[in-house]
Amino acid sequence: MTVRRTVILPPVPPPLQLYERMYKIRIFESRMEEEAKAGRLPGTFHSSVGQEAVAVGACGSLRPHDLVVSTHRGHGHFLAKGGDVFKLMAELYGRAEGYSGGKGGTQHVAGPECGFMGSNGITGGGIPVATGLGLALKRQGRENVVISFFGDGAANQGTFHESLNMAAIWKLPVIYVCENNGWGMSTAVKDVTAGVNIAHRGEAYGILYQRVDGNDLEEVLEQIRAGIQMVLNEQAPVLIEAVTWRVRGHSRSDQNLYRSKDVEAEWAQRDPLARYRTKLLKTGRATEQELTACEKRSDEELADAYARCQTLAPVAPETAVTKVYATPAEADAPDPSQEPLKDGAWEEKPYWQAIQEALREAMDKDPRIFLFGEDICEYGGCFKVTRGMLETYGKERLINTPVSEAGIVGLCTGAAMGGVRPVGEIMFMDFILLTLDQLLNHAAKFHYIYNGQVKIPMVIRTPMGGYRGYGATHSQCLDALLTHLPGLRVVTPSNARDAKGLLATCLTENNPVVFVEHKALYITKGPVPKESEKIPLGKAKIVRTGKDITIAANSYMVLLSLQAAEILAKDGIEAEVVDMRCLAPLDRKTVAESAARTQALVTVEESHFTGGWGAELTASVQELAFGYLDAPILRVAAADVPIPAAPELERAVLPSVDKIVATVRKALEARG
C-alpha cells in the first residue's frame, strides 16, 4: 500500500469559532427535540445535548476532505463537520430539500460534500464502514483521515473488535472515537462492560489509545489532534474514549427514570458549553459581547432555517421508489449470450477458470479493483478460484483477511464508498449469515437512504450448495434469502460462459452484488468465448426449447433440470428449461412467456421450499399468465429441514433429477 509522507495540520480554529459550533449544535438539538416531542417531526429523535465538546473537539482539526462516519446520535457530528443547518433540519422534517430527500430521517443522513459519510441506525454498524473508508484512502495514497464515532454500547459489538484488528494489521488512517455517555439506552456501562475501560481495549490490538474528559473541549481537541498526527505520520489507527454525559434520554420517548438525579446534577455542573464559555471569559480569550454575538448569529441561522422549513411542501410520494439502485438493470440491453457461439470462437474451460478470467481481465483494466477475503492469496481460496493470481498481482491487490466475515463485508462497503472497487470472498455461503447486517442494512441501503449521494460498487463472491456431505452449516443455498431486501443484486450462473460474462458485468456495476457460485459447478466445463463479453443482469435464458412444460431453475439446478428434460423426452414430453441466472433482478417476463406457450410450469431451486424464490416466481407467473395455464404450478426445492451430512439423508432432502421428473409428470397429469 502507498507510503505516506509527513503531513502538517492546519492551525487550531479560533476559540470563538469553536464556541459558536458548540452553541449551534446545542440550540439545534434543543429546538428539534421540542419539535419531535410535539409530534411535528416524523420518527424518533436522539439528542446529543451534553456531548457537543466531543463533536466539535473531534472535528475541530479536520480538513474538508477528511471523513466522518457517525451514529444514530449524529446531528452534532454533522454540524461540527460543516453540515448545512437548513438541509439537515429539512431532512428531519422529511422534506425533499433535506440531505437524504426525506428517505433517511434523523438517523440516516449523509453529506459527502463536507466529508460526512453517513449516520447509522445500527449500533456499531458504522465502525467497519469507516474502517473500509480508511482502507480506500490508503490504497489511493490520499492524505486523509477518517473519524469513526460510536457509543459505549457499540464497543461490545463484534464489529468493533473486527474493525480494530483489521485497522491495526494494515495501519489504516482511522481514529476511533467512543463517546462514552454512561448509558447504553437504559443500561449503565459499568454493568455490561468488562475490563479497565473501553480505551484500554486498544492495547489488545497494539494501537495507541487514550481516555479523555469528553466535556472538556480543549482536552478533546488536543488528543484528537495528536491522534491525527499519529495516524497521518506514523500510519497507525488510534482509539480515543471520550467520557461524557447524555443530558437527555436515549430518544424522545425516554423519560430518564432510571438515572440518579444526584448524578445528573453533578454532570450538569460539568456542562461542556457553559464550561467552555466560562473558561474563555476567565482567560480573556473572549468578551461577553463577542460570545453574545456568536450566539446571536447561530440563533438567527436556526430561526431562518426553521422559517424556511415551515414553507416546504411534503415530499412527493413517487420519490419513494427512486434511487434504490445506482444503475438500474437495463431491460433492453444487448445480451450476446443469447446467440450460439460460432465455430472457432470459443474454448472449453472449467467454471472456476472462467470466473478467474473475468477477475483478471477486469483487474487489468481497472486498478481500483482488488480481491479481499480469507485464504485467497497463496492458498488460492477454499475452492481455488484465485490460484496463481498472487504471482501476477501481488499482495497489494490480493489481501488475505482475518476470519471476520462481518468485517470483510463492512470494509468492502466502506472501501466502495471511498472510491475503490473491492471484490470480497466469503468462504462458504453459510458464513454470509454473519454478514447480513453489513450486507443488507448498509451495502444494500446506503444509496437509497442517502438519496443517491454515495455508491457501493462492490462484489461479494461466495460458494453455495450441498451434494458434498458437508452438513447443515456448510451446505446451504441462501440465495433466495438475499433477494428479500432491495438494493442488492444476486447472481447465480450455471455455466462457465455465463459465469464469466455475468461477473464481467458485475465488476463494472455501481451496485453491491452477491455473486453465488455453486460448489458442484467449479469443475464442470463449457464453451467460453475467446472474445470477452458482458452479459446484462436480470435476463433469463432459455437453454432448452420445448412445448409441453416449462422448467425454471438456477445455478446447479439447471444441470439437473436439463438431465430431467432428456429423460422426459424419451417419453415424448418436451420440457423447455429456463436458466434464471439472476435472482435479483428476477426475470419474471421470460418465464411467464414460456409458461404461457407451454401452459405449465415447474420451478426448481436448492434453497428451502418455504419462502424460496420459486414461490415468488410462481406468484408472478400467476399474475402475468394465469389465463394461459392449464396445470397447477409445482415446485421442487430442498425440504424444510437443515441439510444433513449422511449421503442417504442429503439425497432425501435435496432436489434430484428423479424428483424433477416426478414433479413434471405430476403437473402434466393434473392438466385439465
User: The dihedral of CA 578, 583, 588, 590: what is its sign?
Assistant: negative
Give the E-state strand segments of 396-509 in sequence order. 398-400, 421-425, 459-464, 489-491
**Cα dihedral: 117, 30, 94, 79 (round 10):** -20
> Measured between alpha carbons, how far is residue 79 from residues 18, 63, 517, 601 in Å?
12, 14, 45, 57
Beta-bridged to residue 432, according to DSSP, are none
Closest CA to 76 of 112, 120, 35, 22: 22
Q: How many angstroms separate the CA atoms of 266 and 568, rounded?
A: 81
Catalytic residue among 405, 425, 509, 650: 405
Is 474 a known active-site residue? yes
Quick one: residue 88, left, alpha or beta (phi over 0 = left, psi -120 to 50 = alpha)?
A: alpha
Contact between 115 and 65 under an 8 Å Cβ cutoff? The reply is yes
Contact between 46 and 124 under an 8 Å Cβ cutoff? The reply is no
Sheet (strand 541-544) strand order: 541-544, 575-579, 549-553, 601-608, 634-638
Q: Copy the grid coordinates of residue 219.
A: 482536552
Is 200 a known active-site residue? no
Contact between 474 and 449 under an 8 Å Cβ cutoff? The reply is no
Burial class (CB in 10 A: 0-12, 13-18, 19+), 295: middle
Q: Copy the grid coordinates of residue 379.
A: 492458498
Closest CA to 520 of 650, 371, 635: 650
Contact between 513 and 362 under an 8 Å Cβ cutoff? The reply is no
The residue to which cell 474514549 is assigned: 241
DSSP-derived secondary structure for 30-60: HHHHHHHHTT-SSS-----TT-HHHHHHHHT
Helix (H, G, I), strand (E, B) or coil at 18: helix
Catalytic residue among 161, 474, 518, 608: 474
Q: Copy the grid coordinates of residue 327.
A: 444503475
> Measured between alpha carbons, how far is residue 549 from residues 271, 572, 609, 625 in Å?
74, 12, 21, 14
Closest CA to 596 of 568, 631, 558: 631
- Residues that are catalytic: 405, 474
